[in-house]
Structure 1
Amino acid sequence: MTTPPTSAGVPARQPVLIVGGGLVGASLAIALDAAGIEAVMVEAAAPRVDAQPSYDERNLALARATVNGLDAIGVWRHAAAQATPIRHIHVSRAGDFGSARMDADREGVDALGWTLPARELGAALLRRLDECRHLKRLAPAKLEALEPLADGWRAQIRTAEGTQSIDASLLVGADGTASYVREQLGIEAETHDYQQTLFVCTVTPERDHAHRAYERFADNGPVAMLPLAERHCGLVVTVPTEEGDAVAAMDDEQFIAWAQQRFGWRLGRLGRPGKRHPYAIKRVAAQCLIGPRAVLVGNAAQTVHPIGAQGFNLGLRDALTLAELVAGAEDPGAADLLEHYAARRAPDREGTMTMSHGLVQLACLPQPLLGPLRSLALLACDRVPPLQRLLAKRGMGFRGEPPRAVLERLP
């Protein structure tokens, strides 16, 4: 849906302007609409699954808290039929003994999380966006300029119908890793290039995955296997950047033999690999989350290593926390509200980023002296009940002070 330019050059006034309509930006827009908050969402891509870059071929591992949140804002009913529950998680390290296991029955839940192709989540978000009553969607549209005002921001937005001006009390940057909003706010970002390339595809294992997800670490990077529908699995494998071209050039037979060597034989022989999609891996962290009447969420705030599948899970908690605070405020851009948001998100954000970065540094380093320590840590996580519970709780997305929406139990 698009809106025409305002008449007589008078800017339209809105409480919230969301720049970016990917997975996190769309979720925020829906959450605000569910709370009755007027907002405008600006998205560069057309409102179609095949046009949105973040609605791609990745298979997302959605934490239980994430699915609770998607259910609370009315998205999950559009996606549940395409999702596969994760009831067990197995974590190991090539060359080390021991493993860490998580089990839904042990935690008293029906699933620790669910897997869902990003394109299916994107389709569910688009269907839910079509139901919104308080949201104006500008897509395709481009944010061309931002001007600070005493009580907000003025945005110049170009659409197919022309350029229009919108004033907003709160500006939200949900525009991804290379965030234009972050740049315009003058917020610096720390970047770490892992010198790794991530490949994702589907495979069909000889044995039933039994709703078990695997994460396996090795000197040359982590490998994950995620359960999907119809006995398929989503393979996620990282390689050093210098090996990326060689892996991309492999034919299916060569690739599946290589993937088998990387993952192992826990699911028997792997076969029928789907189309491979490479992604460069970088960690980008904004030095702060807020500016004057502005806030960053999702990848604009932090882009984390895909190890542990925390990116969208963390970003959704950003969006739902912000929506919760805005829904209870007279002024969505008030300084105290944004400071409260930043303080509330800090433990979850910092803890998740430290965990993902630390795992890459420790679990994948080829240092023999670390082997016994890593093995003991895996055994402790598997055998010590308090560590088991802590690992499972954080794996399900419950960290810090989560938004109330993720605490609602699924029916």
Structure 2
Amino acid sequence: MTAFSLNPEQIAWCAELRTLGDERLRPLAEKGEPGRVNRPLVEALGELGLLDRLFAGEGPGDRAGGATSGALGLCLLRESLAYACTEAETALALQGLGAHPVAAYGSARQREQWLAPARAGHSVAAFALSEPGAGSDAAALALRAAPDGPSAWRLTGEKCWISNAPEADFYTVFARTTPGAGARGVTAFLVPADRAGLTGTPLDMLSPHPIGALAFDGVTVTGEDVLGEPDRGFRVAMTTLNRFRPSVGAFAVGMAAAALDATLAHTAQRDAFGGKLKDLQAVAHQVAEMATRTEAARLMVHAAAAAYDRGEPDIAQRAAMAKLLATEAAQYVVDAAVQLHGACALQRGHLLEHLYREVRAPRIYEGASEVQRSIIAKELYSGPSG
């Protein structure tokens, strides 16, 4: 059920994606090692043409169109994959986040050398924005790009909480080229992983996808490595985040829907107090609340994505609202599902044990819930009546 009135093509595509996720991608995900890049899974996403969909219409030669394209198509893709295989969804999203700046701002050479293999699943991309002292406050970046000649810099500093690090093949790195200029003094660079002076270490996180830290010890970059324009890198970062924030909400909706369906099945067949769990009013009302929050989140995500596709001016506010509502709702739904399942949901390998670990991180990454509230408030007060 969806009140967004998806057309038959979109509904059929979502069903196809769930089947692909369950039958083609989940077996590959189960063979992967937690905390490591699953390259066979990334390659399968490329072979199935799913990575291509991340970049349609983002650069020269790319054509967007059709009921399953654009930001809404991305949300349907992420929601459907998340329902069936969160590992596949995460691998797809991380590839998109890391390579989108190349698709949108890269030169012809950068796109040919790095984007083409990323779209095919043959190379792994990463988005390197966060730092030990600058996570949510992206304008406070400290990674220094010191001038080294007329059109070259040396990168010195650290990045932290970087998905796909340290195993990615290339990184979109945001560094400070003009000290004291805040968001106006940041430049985006495409940095190959084998560049001299770049090292990384994996971090052991609650969520099973790969995350690491990067150290830059005088890493040389030149004008050919710049994405967009010098000192305009904050725009590159925000454009990418605004593109993907609603779809983070779609990831959350997919997890919530999976938890809801598991709960409906469990409470309908579980014997308790002379009947089924669903016959208890407290349980039925809880499930109704779970369903309502899931559907409300889905509608806001779809609305934000559709607004992005139409080029409406309030994208930042809509994207923030969608991510905030959906990730908070998913946390509630998954937690309630665990409670209604009881001890069995806490067993390693149970769907809900997996979702319980996965659902926590989206409330933090790509802007924590508190940051989304600040964005929303800023947009509200800057409006006509603000």
* Same fold, judged at TM 0.5 (above): no
Which has the larger share of helix? 2
Bucket of the pairwise TM-score, normalised by the shorter protein: under 0.3
Q: Which has the higher contact order (CA 8 A, sep 6+)?
A: 1
**What's the TM-score, normalizing by structure 1?**
0.26
Which has the larger share of strand? 1
**What's the TM-score, normalizing by structure 2?**
0.27
